[in-house]
């Protein structure tokens, strides 16, 4: 009986006996032991009178299933961050990284808006008219989108380097999307930290410099957690290592430093040109 296959009760896809999530549809499976003969048969498609309406209903149902199973996976990773859930939907980890990045960008944009409001209160009428002519709100939106893309690239760098050194460390193959889910599972606590920081930025007064400083300090734990997760995910549960784990982590940290240095150098050069153009525009309007 223990060798009989198990199927997802939602889509009928064959899963592992100890799987908690269906790798195909992401359904939260606890302990399903369904023999082959009782696997759900595909249902015949009824004659739909409104194809668009049926497709919309299916899409909404899929989104609800994905979101519900995602929150179940998220709570499980909070309880046991170091326990890999290899049967989770392949996009759960990517979803966490996008949400964490979005929360961080919203916090940064909120801080920029508060600084802008403080500057507007401090300057005269002429300077306020100049700032209105420069479309500051549009600049802030573009800055937020740019920061969002940069954070996503930063996540990609962390994940790619960690995955590369994990593959180099052990002869056992690790599926990339399973690895992304494991990495996100270890760092899912960052989402809560980013959410708290965002709420603090909303309720903090624009003239409260101590509150703004506290917000910047509160972002530090996220960076610490990311660094710890980067090291942990490379060596976690490695049974057979090709090299000493210490040297693997050391080389990974060196590679991360070099790649991020190059990345920051490129970004600063691009932003420097944009900043020079913006300052020249401000100077022309001021004259």
Kindly list the domain boundaries of the chain, sorted by start residue: 6-79, 92-286
DSSP 8-state secondary structure symbol assigned to residue 108: H
Strands (DSSP E) contained in the chain are 6-7, 14-15
Please state the pTM of the whole predicted model.
0.73
The string over 11-46, giving b where at least 16 C-beta atoms fall within 10 Å of a residue's C-beta and e elsewhere, is: ebeebeeebbbbbbbbbbbeebebeeeeeeeeeeee
CA 182/CA 184 separation, integer angstroms: 5
Three-state SS at 175: coil
Q: How many CB atoms lie within 10 A of CB 3?
A: 5
Cα angle 161, 167, 172 (rounded to 5 degrees) comes to 155
Taking Cα atoms as reference points, which of 232, 205, 202, 201 lies closest to residue 218? 201
CA torsion angle 53 54 56 61 (round to 10): 140
Give the pLDDT confidence score for residue 276 in this predicted structure.
Answer: 58
Give the pLDDT confidence score for residue 86 in this predicted structure.
Answer: 67
> Please, is 171 exposed, middle or buried when counting C-beta atoms within 10 Å of its C-beta (0-12, 13-18, 19+)?
exposed
CA 81/CA 106 separation, integer angstroms: 26
Give the pLDDT confidence score for residue 33 in this predicted structure.
Answer: 45
Per-residue pLDDT of the chain (287 residues; tens, 9 = 90+): 456 777 787 777 777 777 777 777 777 776 444 444 344 545 544 544 455 666 677 677 777 778 878 999 999 999 988 887 767 888 999 999 999 999 999 988 888 887 777 776 776 666 566 655 556 677 788 888 999 999 999 999 999 999 999 999 988 888 899 899 999 999 999 999 889 888 888 887 665 555 566 666 767 888 889 999 999 999 988 888 888 999 999 999 999 999 999 999 998 888 776 665 655 565 555 45
Residues 178 and 92 sit within 8 Å (Cβ to Cβ): no
Give the pLDDT confidence score for residue 265 in this predicted structure.
Answer: 92
Give the pLDDT confidence score for residue 3 in this predicted structure.
Answer: 62
Q: How far, in Å, are 9, 143, 146, 155, 262 from residue 270 at the CA level?
A: 51, 13, 12, 20, 12
The string over 210-234, giving b where at least 16 C-beta atoms fall within 10 Å of a residue's C-beta and e elsewhere, is: eebeebeebeeebeebbeebbbbbb
Sign of the dihedral through C-alpha 274, 279, 285, 287: negative
Q: Which residues contact 90 (CB under 8 A, 6 or more apart)?
A: 23, 177, 178, 180, 181
Give the pLDDT confidence score for residue 200 in this predicted structure.
Answer: 82
Residues 107 and 197 sit within 8 Å (Cβ to Cβ): yes
């Amino acid at each position: 009986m223990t060798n009989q296959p198990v199927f997802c009760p939602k889509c009928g896809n064959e899963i592992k006996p100890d799987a908690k999530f269906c790798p195909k549809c992401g359904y939260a499976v606890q302990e399903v032991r369904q023999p082959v003969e009782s696997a759900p048969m595909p249902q015949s498609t009824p004659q739909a009178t409104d194809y668009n309406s049926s497709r919309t209903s299916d899409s909404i149902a899929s989104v609800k299933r994905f979101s519900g199973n995602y929150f179940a996976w998220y709570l499980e990773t909070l309880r046991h961050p170091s326990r890999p859930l290899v049967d989770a939907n392949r996009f759960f980890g990517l979803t966490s990284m996008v949400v964490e990045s979005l929360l961080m960008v919203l916090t940064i944009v909120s801080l920029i808006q508060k600084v802008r409001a403080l500057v507007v209160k401090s300057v005269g009428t002429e300077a306020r008219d100049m700032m209105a002519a420069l479309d500051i709100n549009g600049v802030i939106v573009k800055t937020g989108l740019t920061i969002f893309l940069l954070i996503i690239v930063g996540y990609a760098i962390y994940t790619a380097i960690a995955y590369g050194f994990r593959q180099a460390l052990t002869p056992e193959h690790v599926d990339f999307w399973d690895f992304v889910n494991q990495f996100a599972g270890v760092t899912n606590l960052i989402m809560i930290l980013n959410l708290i920081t965002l709420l603090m930025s909303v309720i903090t007064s624009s003239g409260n410099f101590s509150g703004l400083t506290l917000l910047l300090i509160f972002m530090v734990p996220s960076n610490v957690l990311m660094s710890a997760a980067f090291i942990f995910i490379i060596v976690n549960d490695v049974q057979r290592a090709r090299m000493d784990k210490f040297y693997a982590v050391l080389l990974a940290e060196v590679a991360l430093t070099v790649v991020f240095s190059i990345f920051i150098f490129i970004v600063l050069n691009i932003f420097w040109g944009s900043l020079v153009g913006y300052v020249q525009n401000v100077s022309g309007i001021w004259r």
